[in-house]
Amino acid sequence: MKYSRILLKLSGEALMGGKGFGIDSNLIEKYSREIKNIHDEGIEIAVVIGGGNIYRGIEAEESGINRVQGDYMGMLATLINSMALQSHLEKLGCDTRLMSGFNIDQVCEPFIRRRAIRHLEKRRIVIFGAGLGKPYFTTDSTASLRAIEIEANIVLKGTRVDGVYSADPEKDKNAVKFDELSFSEAYEKNLNIMDMTAFTLCKENSLPIIVFDMNKPGNLSNLIKGKKIGTLIY
Ligand code: UDP
């Protein structure tokens, strides 16, 4: 196996599938199976899920809600997704722990770095919910920072597209896909891989990222084996 400990980032929007809102249960079940498959291979896995399928803080002000309040609503949205994933993983027989960026004791435990590492060593899949517990951050920054904290080998960013393109492939037919990019190249080309905070954290800590298509069955497990899938940013 190429990696022993990974941080998997899934966007909330990906969980929506064909639905306009919320969680597509077939899709989350499919993702859970993919995660279980690599867990069975012995990989230690931490997961961060976004909340964009339910709520995004940035939309708050347009609807008359204070931005910071909106961000906390977004963090709660990530917890809802995290709880759904936890349930699906448990249904498949995986041992899991959900750790939250802010205190919500009746639902999950708080994030404690050493404890998270211990869970991973004990073969539990750890889900980090509620982002970093602070407004003005994103789940991408959560993925980068938590990955650094737990000493993950890589951030695997599962999306609906199969990598990083020179332009949005859903809008521009001439967009070309990159197989790999250095952090500086990605920065110079102004490619939108993660938000700046998240990107800088990875760059400064030499934490590679792979952007890949989570919807293609087997992609995750092939990635772990070292096959060249998606775009590697190093
Ligand atoms: N959020 C936040 N702090 C964090 C993580 C998330 O304030 O550390 C809020 C923010 O409002 C964000 C929302 O939670 O818009 C949902 O997360 P994100 O937009 O990153 O989800 P995704 O786009 O991956 O679905």
Per-residue pLDDT of the chain (234 residues; tens, 9 = 90+): 899 999 999 999 889 988 889 999 999 999 999 999 999 999 999 999 999 999 998 888 899 999 999 999 999 999 999 999 999 999 999 999 999 999 999 999 999 999 999 999 999 999 999 999 999 999 999 999 999 999 999 999 999 899 999 998 889 999 999 999 999 999 999 998 999 999 999 999 999 999 999 999 999 999 999 999 999 999
34 lines ligand 1 (CB under 6 A): no
* CA of residue 1 to ligand 1 center, whole Å: 31
Question: C-alpha distances in angstroms, 212 versus 146, 157, 205?
Answer: 20, 6, 21
pTM here?
0.96
* CA of residue 115 to ligand 1 center, whole Å: 24
Supply the pLDDT for residue 20: 85
- Residue boundaries of the structural domains of the chain: 5-233
Supply the pLDDT for residue 169: 86
Query: What's the rounded Cα separation, in Å, for the pair 140 and 159?
Result: 12
12 lines ligand 1 (CB under 6 A): yes
Cβ-contact 49, 10 below 8 angstroms: yes
Mutate to test the pocket of ligand 1, among 21, 47, 58, 75 (most ligand atoms within 8 A of CB): 75
Query: What's the rounded Cα separation, in Å, for the pair 199 and 185?
Result: 12
Query: What's the rounded Cα separation, in Å, for the pair 65 and 88?
Result: 32
**Atom 3 in ligand 1: which residue has the minimum CA distance?**
137
Yes or no: is domain 5-233 CATH 3.40.190.10?
A: no
Q: What is the mean pLDDT of the chain?
A: 96
71 lines ligand 1 (CB under 6 A): yes
**Atom 22 in ligand 1: which residue has the minimum CA distance?**
50
* CA of residue 15 to ligand 1 center, whole Å: 14
* pLDDT per position as a tens digit, 140-166: 999 999 999 999 999 999 998 999 999
* pLDDT per position as a tens digit, 171-206: 999 999 999 999 999 999 999 899 999 999 999 999
